[in-house]
């Protein structure tokens, strides 16, 4: 059966648990509730491997029913963080709490936490059914209950009729679902997913993202996903954390990470961005005026700006926030002239590179959404164009 169809059928049955698809669950923001008790807490956790500090005095709280994504470049410590939660690594300092209980010294097989491995780690000598039943057998449950729960889980991950097969007789997508089922059937308090979609091709990855989100919402479980793929993290997560060099740079819902990044690293790591260096000339209320070398005078609207006249700051400008025109825009606050150097046509959108300030100037990325089926494109290489953007578009970035 086509998974999309099944999803559409199952959505209404979920009883509106999810107010709207995606990460926007308006009523679900336990991290803003000071009385909420987090499910997982890292308190000043440090982990070193020899001289390398993998996780550096890190504190973090994850709440019940949250879909939490940990995003970062490879080697940033995100996998170590997850492995400490599963119990495969011991922190050198600090403590890890689950449901208010310190689990720092609890061995992996006694933790109510399950993990879906990046390589899936399916037991090659066991059938699909035995792989899924493995964890339940270790709990010493009655045979009938194990069989019933395995059966139900097989249905949930659409693997009915496959229980006799061996892992090497399955496709990549099927193996992924066995790995997921094997961890889910234990009904863990917390499910860890290490690059859960990394080995799937693009189409399957997109489908599986939504399946994971539905499963998480339906089962009411807490998921923590580690990924280096920002699309994946932004699509699925209620909140995401951007990690680098063993530290969490920002923890926020995906839209805040994108539209209000806490630092220049976060802004550059998540999505495309144009960075403009400049010096503040005036601050009037929320309106900051700055003088930049690459784009002249820029005005931007910043909530309670912390910068003062004379400060050197970096302004970030997302490519889709910039408008492109042949004629000089009349009343835009920010506008600058340039020449098109490159046009990348991507189907749904077009990425235009505009050189501002002559040959040695600065290259601006501008993205245009292709909303009509126009074959003739309005812009071509070497066109003289104007860039313009609102005062709300730019954001001041801490370096």
Partner 1 sequence: MSTPVPRSSGTGRGLLVAAIPYLWLVAFFLAPFVIVLRIALSDAATDQPPYAPHFPGISQLGEFLGALDLENFRLLGDDPLYWQSYLSSLRIAALTTLIALAIGYPLAYAMALAPKRWQGILLVLVILPFWTSFLIRVYAWIGILRPDGLLDMALMGIGLTAEPLRLLNTDTAVLIGMVYSYLPFMVLPLFSTLQKLDGTLLEAASDLGATPLTTFLTVTLPLSIPGILAGSALVFIPAIGEFVIPDLLGGSDTLMVGKVLWNEFFSNRDWPLASAVAIVLLVVLVLPLMLLQRARGQGEGSVR
Q: Which is nearer to partner 1, 143 or 326 (CB)?
A: 143
Q: Which is nearer to partner 1, 227 or 350 (CB)?
A: 227
For the beta sheet containing 40-49, the strands, ordered from the edge strand earlier in sequence to the opposite edge, are 52-62, 40-49, 93-98, 101-102
Q: Which is nearer to partner 1, 49 or 88 (CB)?
A: 88
Q: How many degrees, rounded to 5, is the angle at CA 51 between CA 49 and CA 55?
A: 50
List contacts with partner 1 (CB under 8 A).
86-88, 107-110, 113-115, 117, 119, 121-125, 134-135, 138-139, 166, 168-169, 182-183, 186
Q: Which is nearer to partner 1, 139 or 382 (CB)?
A: 139
Q: Are 191 and 221 in contact (CB under 8 A)?
A: yes
Q: Do the bridges between strand 274-284 and strand 312-317 make them parallel or antiparallel, or are there none, so unpaired?
A: antiparallel
Q: How far apart are CA 99 and CA 50, in angstroms?
A: 31
Q: Which is nearer to partner 1, 86 or 283 (CB)?
A: 86
Q: Least Å distance between CB 164 and partner 1?
A: 11
Q: Least Å distance between CB 84 and partner 1?
A: 13
Q: Least Å distance between CB 74 and partner 1?
A: 17
Q: Least Å distance between CB 240 and partner 1?
A: 24
What secondary structure does DSSP assign to 259-300, as a single string? Answer: HS-SSHHHHHHSS--EEEEEEEEEEETTEEEEEETTTEEEEE
Q: Least Å distance between CB 47 and partner 1?
A: 17
Q: Least Å distance between CB 120 and partner 1?
A: 9
Q: How far apart are CA 22 and CA 213, in angstroms?
A: 8
Q: Which is nearer to partner 1, 85 or 252 (CB)?
A: 85
Q: Least Å distance between CB 119 and partner 1?
A: 6
Q: Which is nearer to partner 1, 137 or 160 (CB)?
A: 137
β-strand partners of 101? 98
Q: Which is nearer to partner 1, 80 or 114 (CB)?
A: 114
Q: Are 32 and 256 in contact (CB under 8 A)?
A: no
Which residues have CB under 8 Å from 9's CB, separation 6+?
none
Residue 175's H or E segment, with its range, is helix 172-184
Q: Least Å distance between CB 123 and partner 1?
A: 6
Q: How many degrees, rounded to 5, is the angle at CA 268 between CA 348 and CA 283?
A: 110
Q: How far apart are CA 190 and CA 187, in angstroms?
A: 8
């Amino acid at each position: 059966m086509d998974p999309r169809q099944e999803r559409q059928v199952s959505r209404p049955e979920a009883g509106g648990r999810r107010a709207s698809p995606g990460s926007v669950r308006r009523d679900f923001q336990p991290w803003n509730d000071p009385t909420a008790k987090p499910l997982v807490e890292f308190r000043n956790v440090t982990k070193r491997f020899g001289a390398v500090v993998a996780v550096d005095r890190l504190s973090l709280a994850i709440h019940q029913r949250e879909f939490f994504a940990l995003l970062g470049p490879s080697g940033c410590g995100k996998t170590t963080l997850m492995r400490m939660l599963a119990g495969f690594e011991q922190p050198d300092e600090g403590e890890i709490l689950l449901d208010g209980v310190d689990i720092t010294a609890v061995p992996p097989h006694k933790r109510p936490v399950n993990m879906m491995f990046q390589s899936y780690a399916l037991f090659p000598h066991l059938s699909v059914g035995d792989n899924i039943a493995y964890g339940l057998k270790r709990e010493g449950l009655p045979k009938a209950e194990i069989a019933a729960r395995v059966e139900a889980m097989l249905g949930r991950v659409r693997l009915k009729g496959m229980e006799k097969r061996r892992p090497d007789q399955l496709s990549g997508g099927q193996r992924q679902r066995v790995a997921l089922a094997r961890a889910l059937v234990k009904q863990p308090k917390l499910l860890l997913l290490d690059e859960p979609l990394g080995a799937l091709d693009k189409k399957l990855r997109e489908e599986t993202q939504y399946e994971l989100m539905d499963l998480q919402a339906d089962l009411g479980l807490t998921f923590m996903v580690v990924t280096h793929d920002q699309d994946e993290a932004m699509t699925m997560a209620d909140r995401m954390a951007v990690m680098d060099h063993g530290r969490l740079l920002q923890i926020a819902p995906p839209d805040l990470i994108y539209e209000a990044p806490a630092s220049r690293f976060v802004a550059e790591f998540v999505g495309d961005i144009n960075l403009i260096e400049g010096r503040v000339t005036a601050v009037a209320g929320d309106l900051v005026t700055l003088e930049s070398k690459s784009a002249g005078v820029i005005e931007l609207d910043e909530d309670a700006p912390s910068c003062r006249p004379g400060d050197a700051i970096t302004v970030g400008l997302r490519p889709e926030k910039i408008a492109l025109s042949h004629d000089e825009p009349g009343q835009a606050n920010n506008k600058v002239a340039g020449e098109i150097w490159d046009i990348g046509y991507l189907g749904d959108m077009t990425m235009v590179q505009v050189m501002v300030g002559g040959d040695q100037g600065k290259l601006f990325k501008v993205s245009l959404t292709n909303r009509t089926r126009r074959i003739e494109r309005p812009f071509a290489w070497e066109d003289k164009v104007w860039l313009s953007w609102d005062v709300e578009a730019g954001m001041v970035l801490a370096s």
